[in-house]
Structure 1
Amino acid sequence: MQRAFLPFFLLMLMLVGRLNVARATGLRIPATVKDTIVVRLPNRATLTLTVRDAAQLRQLKNYHLDSLTSQLATYITRAETAAKTASTDQVTMEFYPDKDQPGKNLPEQVRITTHKKTENSSKVDVVLNKAFGLTVTTDEKGVKSYNTANTKTQEQRQAKRDSTRLKELERKSISTSLVFDLGLNSLVNQKQYFTAEGKPETVDLRPGGSRYVSIGLITYARLFGKRSPMLFSIGPEFSFNNYMLNGNDKWVITNGRTDVVREISGRQFEKTKLATSSINVPLMINLQLRDAHYKPTFTLGAGGFVGYRLSSWTKLKYTTEGTTYKDKNHDNYNLENFQYGLQGTIGYRGLEFFGKYNMNGLFKAGAGPDTQVLSFGIRIFGLN
């Protein structure tokens, strides 16, 4: 090891003596470099050798550094001469020791960047074989500094990220995603009906209070190949629907019918709603497009769902003589147990919207308002 480093010491002495500074910058050294040797010479110069691992350090003995030292002196002289007559502040020249002296196991490439000498400092950058190197800088006070850097270009880093995304895309032919939908309910295709007293009636919902929430665990399976943008998805999901009335109306069930009636006792309601919970199984075909870097962009999904009502209840909230009451009553309210319909999604990158249309009626025929449900809103999580 000592014999291998001796030519490096001689090289540094020659560079400092002729040019006041020697600076060599390593090319493409990974950010995870762990092994570094720093040698301080008597003339205040510093030699830094950085390698990726111990194995690369042991390989240094294979280089004929004594021959390289002699050849490098010629290269530096040529670079220095070129810098003196150049019109720019620096000149970069590339040499190929292994081709100049075949069979001596020299570096494949030496790149030397020579900067014109100024009043404050001067430097020469020497890079050996694009693998490891050293950086030494001298200022006007003779103070030395050194560093190493990862010189991968932005294009190379982007190519590596693209390759990683592509491998992940091809590996995950089946994936599972947590889906959280938050939106509103509205009643559509509503027909006027007659209450038990024979009065014509329609249901008027409070838009902001008639909320829809669902959470599901959806499995996606890629169709037609590893890179295909087509996917099939299936549930299950749990959903919660609120149907909050406007004004001072309330939901009641009398004589086997569910009706909306006006409160006549003088009590003023803050909230009056009918709520349901159900389990659904959506089945959809999804299109997911990606950009040139394999990042998801436009998404589109269409399909249907089937489900079953788990529970239903009404809730009244009102205040009397300074006391707030919340009356809650569980019943089936003549709601349909089974439900089915159509649903779809559309989105771009991280933003996605959903729509859900119940094809069957909300209530059983002849036992409540004749209407269907449309739910819509934003999908917080989903296809990725």
Structure 2
Amino acid sequence: MKNQLKINTRMKSFFTLLLCLTIAPAMAFNGDTKDPKQDTVIIELNNNSKIVIVTKSRADLATLENYDINQMIKDLNAQLSDSVEYMEISEGKAYVNEDDEIEMKDWKINEDEVRIKLGGVEVDVDPDEMDDWDEDDWSERKKVTYEAERADRTTHHFNIDLGMNNWLEDGNFPDANNAPYSVKPFGSWYVGLNSVNRTWVGGPLFLEWGMGISWYNWKLEDADYIIQEGADRVEFNATPPEISGQKSKLTASYINATVVPMFDFSRGRQKITSIESGGLKIKKYSRKGFRFGVGGYAGYRIGSHTKFKFKEDGGKEKDKERDNFFLENFRYGLRAQVGWKGVELFATYDLNEVFSSGRGPLNGDGENAALNAITFGITL
């Protein structure tokens, strides 16, 4: 909805308030109405003041019951001064009554402000105004709540995946057989930093695609095993009795490309809560409704290392080694996402093995263990 308020104060004795609330699309407001008289209501307040309401149809007038006209006038009067000859607010402000809170949409950032956006939270700071800000100002904060429709065909955002890693051997977790390469889920963290585009295809169908960097961390269940690169394969070797293992893990980082078709039954609608106090503005974006999707990804390894923390002769030691450990350079697999309102969960499964073919660790039968990475967690 586009709203435009104009005030002309060229003559001190004359005050005309022109309030144009356009319910129609922008083209209709710019002169595409067939008969302006049919779409215009003029309210004479006194000899010098009037309100003009322009709508697309008579039925649209009913929606004005949801707007706080008094608050519009108060805000405009607060901004006027004797030196003002002409003022136009055309960034799209809307005032909607909702639990005694005033909704203000589409506030615009100034050139000297700093904007930080992470996941569903956006923070804007005006350094000039923050110089005089104190905690008492927070008690006078203005809270804003409203819903926003999907506006653009493609939108961009940045998110963080936080999860836990493990690997599967023939569909089972290795700890079922007490294998030396069994992974301890808590502490085997997965972190992904993603730049994501969201393109509306049609109806509830969206396409999420982008690039990112991720880190696998596989922390061994038994820290008395050390991960080493052998002559032909990666090895998980027991430490000597005089060494007490504290932590043993393998870390690998990848650069990835991801494409996930998503069915979003709220069709991109978002609930936006904004809090403003002085030079500080905080916006929180929460998606509406249920959504899910399944897609694919591919990645290339850009680094890997092992870390082994242990005690020897009463002292703490740490050994860190960088090598490839027969890790497969390419990875590819499936990614599933499911969300409900502000909660977004994900799971990934590598279709190819973590280690190069025939280069993985030996299992209890002395055969190569084919391990596939699996991850699940939450997206911020």
TM-score normalised to the size of structure 2? Answer: 0.55
What are the ranges of 5 or more consecutive residues in structure 1 without an aligned counterpart?
Answer: 1-29, 34-51, 62-96, 99-103, 110-128, 134-150, 193-199
Q: Please give the secondary structure, in 2, of the residue aligned with 1:207.
A: coil
Q: Which residue of 1 aligns with 2:373?
A: 373
| Aligned residues: CA RMSD | 4.1
1:358 is the counterpart of 2:369? no
Residues 340 and 360, structure 1, Cα contact 8 Å, conserved in 2: yes
Q: Please give the secondary structure, in 2, of the residue aligned with 1:187.
A: strand
Matched residues in 2 for 1:186 and 1:201: separation?
A: 13
What are the ranges of 5 or more consecutive residues in structure 2 without an aligned counterpart?
Answer: 17-42, 52-69, 75-94, 106-144, 173-177, 272-286, 361-368
- AA paired with 1:219? N
Q: Which residue of 2 aligns with 1:177?
A: 157
Any residues of structure 2 matched to 1:46-65 within 5 Å, and which?
54=9, 58-59=13-14
Query: 1:324, CA displacement in angstroms?
Result: 2.1
Shift in CA distance, 173/132, structure 1 to aligned 2, threshold 3 Å: closer
Q: Please give the secondary structure, in 2, of the residue aligned with 1:255.
A: coil
1:303 is the counterpart of 2:295? yes
Matched residues in 1 for 2:209 and 2:267: separation?
A: 26
- AA paired with 2:201? L
Larger Rg: 1
Q: Which residue of 1 aligns with 2:205?
A: 230
Task: Write out per-residue CA displacement over residues 76-110 of structure 1, whole angstroms, 9 at most, x where no aligned residue.
Answer: xxxxxxxxxxxxxxxxxxxxx97xxxxx969889x
1:210 is the counterpart of 2:185? no
Q: Which residue of 1 aligns with 2:312?
A: 320
Q: Which residue of 2 aligns with 1:187?
A: 167
Matched residues in 1 for 2:214 and 2:8: separation?
A: 55
Q: Please give the secondary structure, in 2, of the residue aligned with 1:354.
A: strand
Any residues of structure 2 matched to 1:82-231 within 5 Å, and which?
153-154=97-98, 165-166=148-149, 169-170=150-151, 172-190=152-170, 201=179, 203-224=181-202, 228-231=203-206
Q: Which residue of 2 aligns with 1:250?
A: 226
Matched residues in 2 for 1:189 and 1:287: separation?
A: 32
Q: Answer 1 or 2: which has greater helix percent.
A: 1
| Equivalent residue pairs, number | 245
Query: 1:265, CA displacement in angstroms?
Result: 3.8
Task: Write out per-residue CA displacement over residues 154-190 of structure 1, whole angstroms, 9 at most, x where no aligned residue.
Answer: 4998898699823xx22x2211111200110111134
User: Which runs of at least 4 in structure 1 moved beyond 6 Å after TM superposition?
Assistant: 106-109, 129-133, 155-160
Matched residues, percent identical?
A: 25
Residues 147 and 270, structure 2, Cα contact 8 Å, conserved in 1: no
Shift in CA distance, 174/265, structure 1 to aligned 2, threshold 3 Å: same
Q: Which residue of 2 aligns with 1:91?
A: none
Any residues of structure 2 matched to 1:6-45 within 5 Å, and which?
none
TM-score normalised to the size of structure 1? Answer: 0.54
Query: 1:152, CA displacement in angstroms?
Result: 7.1
Query: 1:289, CA displacement in angstroms?
Result: 3.2
Match of 1:267 among 222, 238, 243: 243
Q: Answer 1 or 2: which has greater strand percent.
A: 2
